[in-house]
């Protein structure tokens, strides 16, 4: 390679690994070692109590502390998390939404403590609540209040933290919830428009600064296995966002109209069966968002090959980082102009997506915009997802190793040692830590800071100054959220399951069985205990059960064991289906079983989720009737099992 060629190479994208777990201290060590390995930015995963605004000693936090990310309950923990990481040089992405204002507050408070000016801070708060309502489930407040918090953050950053991306509009999770490429484009752009309109109308940003606000909006996109179509999707996004910024917001500077996006390639498509195949899936998906120079991702994070099995270890994450490095640094990818310019195939597919997405976007805007139309959008996504599940089950969609070429030689990978397990003692440690924190601060100052926060929330003042002050005074994540819960109320999102159909011949046969049961159709309760809000699986089970002739009581997300037991008892259900994806099944399931016993419920319990093999047996041992993992994609079989269980249960009564 000559120097001339080298000098024309494009700069590589920001390389990240989505990580964080156990404690602030453990995560800090992980980040520092990742940075030493050549990672160029941080991507912080928070645990579910932090994401949903509970302290570790809250009953709902039980079993969830430190599981899917790092617990950050106060400024001391943020300090530990960022120890020896130079904030003025770091580009930090935080996957945080309902409590985004609080975590940004902690980050800013920390920077000020380190003597770093807020104008030097670079990074992103995800802060996209629409996709939480539609897919990811860590929302807290109702739509209007949530939108207001987002607007406040954008306005604050525009003045005080100008290099920060205050919101990262996510199409990623829409694809996971079943969105087609057209839906993905349309719904996320509708979301961005809703937010920008609200910022403009809030009067908090002077018109001269508004183009810069438009320029600060970034996106977080999913890249699936149909990577040629994904290339076109990215080109369609880029074209449409440029046009919208120009026509709707009159942004003249083309740089500020640039569709800036980061990518996490698809985790939904990663398989538990023959997990080594996920490596090639990840590579192809990475190509989808890097091949086209004009629509290339600004930052990329690749999941680990074993994500469908459990929590990845540092080595698994390193492997994914190395994939990026080979792609960016060894290949000639970055030496060329856009290799698709002039390709009529790519261009015609792109314009097809653009046209369809504009139509869908118009439709959403007519429904009143993304926030107003959440119920309708949720229904459409559940319908799309049901269709996808049907295609996999009927083998219309080939998934190698899952519904085709299932035979495999024995794998040297896998087994129980092939992923990370979080020590349950972390929870005890965190509870002790917060006790300690609360007793070492000035309660008077905290009370005053929280009172100021309440007044800001109740009035029209920007929420950020009071939030930063509360962080400095020593308030906790649970306390900050509690004040806002009190002022704004709590929201229950739409489930979207009422209208989805998606019948299959297999399910029809199960329905015939259900209808022949002498004591009436099976009654099944579907619920998600704990804080995990990824409800797509639970929703699909509810829809499939309905199509299998069952009467479904859907209890939704974030329900306590007592709640599940009381519902099961009052509804006299035959079967209870629980979905848990956060890895907290060993803690949560026994609590639910105890509660059921206390309430006199003897209906069998089935579990679905990311459950490692050893844990499956442990769950069966404590009394669970069946355990299903992503390997069990044949929903017809699951439904037949349910009818078997119902017959067995009723025969004993």
Partner 1 sequence: MNRPSTDPVALFEEALGGHRFALARLMSLVERGGEEARQLGAYTFAKSGHAFTVGITGAPGSGKSSLTSALAAVVRSKEERLSVLAIDPSSPFTGGAILGDRVRMQDHVTDEGIYIRSMATRGHLGGLSLATPQAIRVLDALGWPWIVIETVGVGQVEVEIAGAADTTVVVVNPGWGDAVQANKAGLMEVADIFVINKSDRKGADDTRRDIQQMLELSSLGNWEPPIIMTIATDDVGADQLWESVLEHRSHLLESGDLAERRAQRIQAELEEIVSRSLDQLIGIVMERPEALELKSKMKSGEIDPYDAAKRLIDLAID
**Per-position x/- string for 446-485, each x denoting binding to partner 1 as judged by CB under 8 A, each - no binding:** ----------------------------------------
- Among positions 283-312, residues that touch partner 1 (CB under 8 A) are none
CB of 87 to partner 1, least distance (A): 41
CB of 614 to partner 1, least distance (A): 33
Q: What's the token pair of residue 551?
A: 């009467």
Choose between 483 and 553: whose C-beta lies nearer to partner 1.
Answer: 553
Active site residue 18: yes
Cα Rg for the chain, rounded, in angstroms? 24
Which segment (292-300, 315-323, 449-457, 595-603) binds partner 1 by CB under 8 A? 595-603
CB of 372 to partner 1, least distance (A): 9
CB of 564 to partner 1, least distance (A): 9
Which segment (60-68, 75-83, 252-260, 559-567) binds partner 1 by CB under 8 A? 559-567
Q: Rounded to an integer, what is the distance from CA 274 to the centroid of its chain?
A: 24
Active site residue 172: yes
* Among candidate residues 403, 407, 414, 399, the one with its CA nearest the CA of residue 280: 399
* Among candidate residues 297, 346, 352, the one with its CA nearest the CA of residue 180: 352
CB of 111 to partner 1, least distance (A): 38
What span, in angstroms and rounded, lies between the C-alpha atoms of 321 and 489?
A: 41
* Among candidate residues 305, 225, 223, the one with its CA nearest the CA of residue 264: 223
The active-site residue, picked from 349, 534, 585, 615, is 534
When asked if residue 511 is in the footprint of partner 1 (CB under 8 A), the reply is yes
CB of 509 to partner 1, least distance (A): 10
The active-site residue, picked from 54, 107, 172, 261, is 172
What span, in angstroms and rounded, lies between the C-alpha atoms of 139 and 410?
A: 42
Within 8 A by CB and 6+ apart from 125, the residues are 94, 96, 100, 103, 104, 153, 164, 165, 166, 167, 168
What span, in angstroms and rounded, lies between the C-alpha atoms of 299 and 260?
A: 9
What is the C-alpha end-to-end distance of the chain, expressed in Å?
78
Which segment (16-24, 61-69, 175-183, 557-565) binds partner 1 by CB under 8 A? 557-565
* Among candidate residues 549, 557, 614, 560, the one with its CA nearest the CA of residue 586: 614
Q: What's the token pair of residue 289?
A: 């968002």
Sheet of 164-165, strands arranged across: 18-19, 42-45, 91-95, 122-125, 164-165
What span, in angstroms and rounded, lies between the C-alpha atoms of 622 and 590?
A: 7
What span, in angstroms and rounded, lies between the C-alpha atoms of 72 and 65?
A: 10
Choose between 24 and 497: whose C-beta lies nearer to partner 1.
Answer: 497
Which segment (20-28, 266-274, 319-327, 596-604) binds partner 1 by CB under 8 A? 596-604
Choose between 94 and 545: whose C-beta lies nearer to partner 1.
Answer: 545
Q: 555 in helix, strand or coil?
A: strand
When asked if residue 601 is in the footprint of partner 1 (CB under 8 A), the reply is yes
Among 347, 429, 562, 647, binds partner 1 (CB under 8 A): 562
Instruction: Give kind and range of the element (H or E) at residue 527.
Output: strand 523-529
What span, in angstroms and rounded, lies between the C-alpha atoms of 405 and 392?
A: 14
* Among candidate residues 491, 576, 495, 561, the one with its CA nearest the CA of residue 530: 561
Among 69, 224, 369, 556, binds partner 1 (CB under 8 A): 556
Active site residue 534: yes
Q: 249 in helix, strand or coil?
A: coil
Which segment (60-68, 79-87, 169-177, 501-509) binds partner 1 by CB under 8 A? 501-509
CB of 653 to partner 1, least distance (A): 7
CA atoms within 13 A on the CB side of 648: 11
Among 489, 617, 620, 648, binds partner 1 (CB under 8 A): 489
What span, in angstroms and rounded, lies between the C-alpha atoms of 547 and 539?
A: 12
Which segment (26-34, 156-164, 170-178, 599-607) binds partner 1 by CB under 8 A? 599-607
- Among positions 98-157, residues that touch partner 1 (CB under 8 A) are 142
Choose between 82 and 545: whose C-beta lies nearer to partner 1.
Answer: 545
When asked if residue 514 is in the footprint of partner 1 (CB under 8 A), the reply is yes
CB of 537 to partner 1, least distance (A): 16
Choose between 37 and 563: whose C-beta lies nearer to partner 1.
Answer: 563
CB of 337 to partner 1, least distance (A): 50
Residue 445 burial (10 A CB sphere; 0-12, 13-18, 19+): middle
When asked if residue 498 is in the footprint of partner 1 (CB under 8 A), the reply is yes
Number of shown-chain residues binding partner 1 (CB under 8 A): 45
The active-site residue, picked from 74, 131, 173, 378, is 173
Choose between 95 and 138: whose C-beta lies nearer to partner 1.
Answer: 138
Q: Which residues pair with 523 in a beta bridge?
A: 551
Choose between 31 and 141: whose C-beta lies nearer to partner 1.
Answer: 141
What span, in angstroms and rounded, lies between the C-alpha atoms of 304 and 413?
A: 13
Which segment (54-62, 309-317, 399-407, 496-504) binds partner 1 by CB under 8 A? 496-504
Q: What's the token pair of residue 442?
A: 């000035």
Residue located via tokens 């009737």:
625
HEC profile for 264-289?
EECCCCCCCCCCCHHHHHHHHHHHHC
Q: What's the token pair of residue 99?
A: 């409590």
Among 114, 408, 515, 617, binds partner 1 (CB under 8 A): 515
CB of 606 to partner 1, least distance (A): 17
Among 563, 616, 632, 649, binds partner 1 (CB under 8 A): 563
CB 259 within 8 A of CB 300: no
The helices-and-strands tally (H runs, E runs) of the chain is 25, 15
The active-site residue, picked from 528, 555, 615, 633, is 528
When asked if residue 507 is in the footprint of partner 1 (CB under 8 A), the reply is yes
Choose between 301 and 560: whose C-beta lies nearer to partner 1.
Answer: 560
CB 212 within 8 A of CB 256: yes
When asked if residue 497 is in the footprint of partner 1 (CB under 8 A), the reply is yes
Q: 523 in helix, strand or coil?
A: strand
- Among positions 516-555, residues that touch partner 1 (CB under 8 A) are 519-521, 542-543, 545-555
Among 423, 460, 570, 648, binds partner 1 (CB under 8 A): 570
Choose between 519 and 620: whose C-beta lies nearer to partner 1.
Answer: 519
What span, in angstroms and rounded, lies between the C-alpha atoms of 60 and 77?
A: 21
Choose between 40 and 503: whose C-beta lies nearer to partner 1.
Answer: 503
Residue 526 burial (10 A CB sphere; 0-12, 13-18, 19+): buried
Among 325, 391, 503, 616, binds partner 1 (CB under 8 A): 503
The active-site residue, picked from 47, 152, 194, 532, is 532
Choose between 37 and 599: whose C-beta lies nearer to partner 1.
Answer: 599
Binding site residues, partner 1, CB under 8 A:
142, 375, 489, 492, 495, 497-498, 503, 507-508, 511, 514-515, 519-521, 542-543, 545-556, 559, 562-563, 566-567, 569-572, 598-602, 653
What residues are labeled active site? 18, 172-173, 528, 532, 534
């Amino acid at each position: 390679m000559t120097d001339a060629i080298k000098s024309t190479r494009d700069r590589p994208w920001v390389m990240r690994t989505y990580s964080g777990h156990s404690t602030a201290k453990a995560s800090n060590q992980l980040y520092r070692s990742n940075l030493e390995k050549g990672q160029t930015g941080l991507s912080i995963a928070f645990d579910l109590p932090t994401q949903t605004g509970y302290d570790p000693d809250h009953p709902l936090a039980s079993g969830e502390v430190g599981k899917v990310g790092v617990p950050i309950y106060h400024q001391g923990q943020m300090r530990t998390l960022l120890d020896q990481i130079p904030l003025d040089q770091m580009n930090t992405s935080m996957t945080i939404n309902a409590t985004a204002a609080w975590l940004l507050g902690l980050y800013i408070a920390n920077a000020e403590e380190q003597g770093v000016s807020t104008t030097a801070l670079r990074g992103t708060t995800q802060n996209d609540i629409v996709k939480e309502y539609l897919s990811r489930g860590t929302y807290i407040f109702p739509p209007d209040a949530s939108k207001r918090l987002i607007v406040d953050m954008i306005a604050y950053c525009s003045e005080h933290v100008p290099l920060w991306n205050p919101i990262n509009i996510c199409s990623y999770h829409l694809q996971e919830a079943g969105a087609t490429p057209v839906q993905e484009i349309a719904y996320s752009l509708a979301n961005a428009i809703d937010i920008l309109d609200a910022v403009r109308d809030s009067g908090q940003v002077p018109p001269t600064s508004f183009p810069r606000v438009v320029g600060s909006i970034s996106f977080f996109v999913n890249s699936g296995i149909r990577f040629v179509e994904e290339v076109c999707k990215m080109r369609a996004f880029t074209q449409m966002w440029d046009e919208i910024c120009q026509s709707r917001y009159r942004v003249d500077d083309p740089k500020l109209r640039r569709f800036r996006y980061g990518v996490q390639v698809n985790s939904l498509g990663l398989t538990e069966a023959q997990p080594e195949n996920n490596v090639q899936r990840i590579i192809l998906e990475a190509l989808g968002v890097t091949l086209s120079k004009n629509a290339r991702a600004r930052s990329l994070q690749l999941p680990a090959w074993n994500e469908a099995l459990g929590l990845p270890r540092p080595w698994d994450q390193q492997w994914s980082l190395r994939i990026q490095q080979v792609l960016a640094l060894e290949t000639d990818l970055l030496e060329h102009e856009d290799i698709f310019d002039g390709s009529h195939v790519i261009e015609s597919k792109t314009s097809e997506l653009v046209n369809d997405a504009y139509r869908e976007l118009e439709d959403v805007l007519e429904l009143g915009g993304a926030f107003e139309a959440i119920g309708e959008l949720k229904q459409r996504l559940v319908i799309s997802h049901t269709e996808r599940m049907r295609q996999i089950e009927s083998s219309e969609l080939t998934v190698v190793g899952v519904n085709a070429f299932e035979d495999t030689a024995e794998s040297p990978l896998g087994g129980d040692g092939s992923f990370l397990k979080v020590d349950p003692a972390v929870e005890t440690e965190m509870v002790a830590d917060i006790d300690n924190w609360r007793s070492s601060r000035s309660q008077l100052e905290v009370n005053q800071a929280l009172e100021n926060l309440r007044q800001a929330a109740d009035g029209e003042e920007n929420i950020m100054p009071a939030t930063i002050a509360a962080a400095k005074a020593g308030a906790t994540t649970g306390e900050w959220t509690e004040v806002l819960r009190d002022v704004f109320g709590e929201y229950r999102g739409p489930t979207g399951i009422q209208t989805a159909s998606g019948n299959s011949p297999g399910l029809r046969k199960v329905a015939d069985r259900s209808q022949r049961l002498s004591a009436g159709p099976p009654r099944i309760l579907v619920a998600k205990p704990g804080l995990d809000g990824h409800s797509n699986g639970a929703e699909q089970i509810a829809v499939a059960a309905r199509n299998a002739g069952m009467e479904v009581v859907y209890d939704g997300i974030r329900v306590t064991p007592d709640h599940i037991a009381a519902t099961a008892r009052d509804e006299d259900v035959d079967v209870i289906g629980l979905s848990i994806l956060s890895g907290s099944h060993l803690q949560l399931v026994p609590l639910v079983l105890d509660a059921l016993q206390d309430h006199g419920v003897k209906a069998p319990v089935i579990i679905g989720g990311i459950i490692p093999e050893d844990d499956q047996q442990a769950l069966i041992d404590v009394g669970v009737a069946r355990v299903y993992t992503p390997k069990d994609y044949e929903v017809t079989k699951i439904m037949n099992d349910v009818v078997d269980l119902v017959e067995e249960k009723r025969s004993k009564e």
